[in-house]
Amino acid sequence: MKKIFILVFTELFLLSFGQKKMSNIEYKNSPEVFTIKGLSQSTSIDCGPSKMILLSGQVPLDAAGNIVGNDVEKQTVQVFKNIESILKAYGATGKDIIKLGIFITDISKTPDFRKVRDLYINLQNPPVSSLVEVSRLFRDDVLIEVEATAVIKNK
């Protein structure tokens, strides 16, 4: 009887104080950004007073799926246009980005990336970032891919 009591008490404790199932997740795609069937461009997580927005890696494709630019600088402009379009669906902008993950095929082109990035982010409090040189992305003509995480106040 004592073992049953302890088991029931433990179960009630875990149910009362354990993590609740997260039903506060939303997935969105922007019609202004190329969409691949079966993949989401972004997801947001309601965190109470704020919302965290996670973007999939953005590449320099326009809404029709055509590559934009043949160098890192021009491709980065399209990447950030895509990021801005997705964030706009949540009422956010590039100034709300807190984390960037950058995958680039030639690390010596990082200054070209930064020149464009600085037009979109909050320079007073720049996002944390990771920069990785890769030998190849999903297509040979894609030179850069950028993941972004943003946080905005909940409305």
42-56, 107-121, 123-137: least confident range: 42-56
Closest CA to 87 of 26, 145, 149: 149
- Strands 50-58 and 144-153: what pairing? antiparallel
pLDDT at 99 over 60: yes
Q: By three-state DSSP, how is residue 5 classified?
A: helix
Per CATH, which fold does 21-153 belong to?
Answer: 60s Ribosomal Protein L30; Chain: A; (3.30.1330)
pLDDT at 5 over 70: no
Q: What DSSP letter does each residue of 79-100 carry, written as one string?
A: HHHHHHHHHHTTT--GGGEEEE
Q: What is the pLDDT of residues 135-144, one digit of tens each?
A: 999 999 999 9
Q: Domain-by-domain residue ranges, the chain?
A: 21-153
Q: Are 154 and 107 in contact (CB under 8 A)?
A: no
pLDDT at 15 over 80: no
Q: What is the pLDDT of residues 112-126, one digit of tens each?
A: 999 999 999 999 999
